[in-house]
Structure 1
Amino acid sequence: MLSKESKPRKLVLYSKPGCCLCDGLKEKLHAAFSLSGPDPLHDVVLQEILPRLSPRLGVELVHKKIAAAFKQ
C-alpha cells in the first residue's frame, strides 16, 4: 500500500508500435505488477517510450512516427 509520501515507481519500456514481442512483454509486465508476494510491484507504473529515432530522419517522418505511436 502506498503512503501519501511515497511515489509510484516507474519502469521505462522502449517499444516499437506494432511489435508482437513488445506487446507480449507489456502483457507479462502488467500481470507481474498485479502478483502479490514478498516484493509487491503494485505501485510500479509502466512508461512506454519509442525506440531511438534516427537523427537522419526528416521532420515529417519523425512527426509521422510519433503520431503513429500515440494512436496505439
Structure 2
Amino acid sequence: LFERHTRIRRQEHNRVKGSGLGLFIVRSVAQRHGGNAWVESEVGKGSTFYISIPLEGDNLVVRQTTEHDN
C-alpha cells in the first residue's frame, strides 16, 4: 500500500481511481521527519492507518541536496 503507484481494485468498482501516490507521500513525509506510517488490517472488520512523527528533533532524518543549474 505504501509503494509508489499502488492502487487496490475493489469488487464493487469497475475501475480504479487515483494515482496511487497518496500513502507513498504520507509515509515519505513521515520518514523525513523521523517517523513512520503503517496500516493494521483485519479481514471483515477494516483497516486502521497510523502515522507517527517525533515531538523532538533528535530523530530527524537530515538529507543534503545540491541544486544544479540547467
Global fold match (TM > 0.5): no
TM-score bracket, shorter-length normalisation: under 0.3
TM-score, length of structure 2 as denominator length: 0.26
TM-score, length of structure 1 as denominator length: 0.26
**Structure of greater relative contact order (alpha carbons < 8 Å, 6+ residues apart):** 1
